[in-house]
Amino acid sequence: MIVIIQCAAGKQDYAGHMQTSDGRKVMFVANPHLSPSSENLIYARPDDSAPTGKSWREELLDYNGREGNPHGLLPAWVLYKNPTYKELVDRIGQESLYILSAGWGLIRSDFLTPKYDITFSKAGNVEPYKRRSTRDKYNDIRLPDGISEQPIVFFGGRDYISLFCELTNSAAGPRTIYYAGKPPDVSGCRLESFGKPYTNWHYQCARSFARERFG
């Protein structure tokens, strides 16, 4: 079984950044032109061109394929502050937990991930430079072919469901979406209700599922 949970805004203060060859740190956001000015950071979208001519996404994939970790990037499950990610890794293992990232797509929990600030959230307190629209074009990382026949369960807010469906549409096994409140309008997935919605309900839902299923 593959468990997928959406990403989180809260990230570790000590998380590493991708860097340019001259050591400048890159912060990945949805709308760099709306970002606050900074002498210490370069703002970019994941699919913007890096100085090498490749996209930053390609650079990150190459980085994950090499030995070493000179920029001090954190595995995705460590990057996010919420303790739910650690509990899920402890119960089901790094290889079976994936995170649906608004910046990078569908990444395995041990994927070395730089600091970024991109979200689908429509909350009023989300600054415009962080907000990704479902209409924006991203070359998101998709479901790997080797796990496409395994059952998949997803825990995440309504704003992330369409991306989940898109990035897992090659799955041959059953897909289950846990939701709160009104059922989402999706096809090809089984729906499981978690009751009434509340802030970050999906963390409790995922923890309850993992404790019941994996002990």
pLDDT beyond 90 at 214 = no
Helix (H) or strand (E) holding 191: strand 190-193
Going by pLDDT thresholds of 50, 70 and 90, the confidence category of residue 84 is very high
Q: Which candidate, 39, 31, 119, 104, places its Cα nearest to that of 73? A: 104
Instruction: Locate 77 and state its tokens.
Output: 């499950």
Q: What is the DSSP letter of 139?
A: -
Give the structural domain span for 92.
2-11+75-214
Helix axes 201-214 and 84-92, enclosed angle (nearest 10): 20
> Is 153 part of a structural domain of the chain?
yes
pLDDT beyond 80 at 192 = yes
Which positions ≥6 away from 84 have C-beta within 8 Å? 5, 203, 206, 207
Q: What is the pLDDT of residue 119?
A: 96
Percent of the chain exceeding pLDDT 90 equals 90
pLDDT beyond 80 at 215 = no
pLDDT beyond 80 at 117 = yes
32-55 tens-digit pLDDT: 999 999 888 999 999 999 999 999
Q: What is the pLDDT of residue 111?
A: 99
Percent of the chain exceeding pLDDT 70 equals 100
Region 104-133: mean pLDDT is: 96
For residues 1 and 92, give the distance between their C-alpha atoms in angstroms, rounded to a whole number: 9
Sign of the CA dihedral with 94 first, then 207, 72, and 17 last: positive
Q: What is the pLDDT of residue 141?
A: 98
Q: What is the pLDDT of residue 39?
A: 85
> Is 39 part of a structural domain of the chain?
no
For residues 56 and 123, give the distance between their C-alpha atoms in angstroms, rounded to a whole number: 27
Instruction: Locate 183 and state its tokens.
Output: 């059922």
Q: Which amino acid is located at 125 in the chain?
A: N
pLDDT, averaged across the chain: 96
Q: Which candidate, 178, 176, 9, places its Cα nearest to that of 103? A: 9
> Is 24 part of a structural domain of the chain?
no
**Where would I find the H helices in 73-200?**
76-79, 84-92, 158-167
* Number of domains the chain contains: 1
For the chain, the maximum distance between any two Cα atoms, rounded to a whole number of angstroms, is 51
Q: Which amino acid is located at 15 in the chain?
A: A
> Is 107 part of a structural domain of the chain?
yes
> Is 80 part of a structural domain of the chain?
yes
> Is 45 part of a structural domain of the chain?
no
> Is 90 part of a structural domain of the chain?
yes
Going by pLDDT thresholds of 50, 70 and 90, the confidence category of residue 147 is confident
Q: How many CA atoms lie within 13 A of 150 on its CB side?
A: 16
For residues 111 and 209, give the distance between their C-alpha atoms in angstroms, rounded to a whole number: 23
Going by pLDDT thresholds of 50, 70 and 90, the confidence category of residue 136 is very high
> Is 60 part of a structural domain of the chain?
no
60-73 tens-digit pLDDT: 999 999 999 999 99
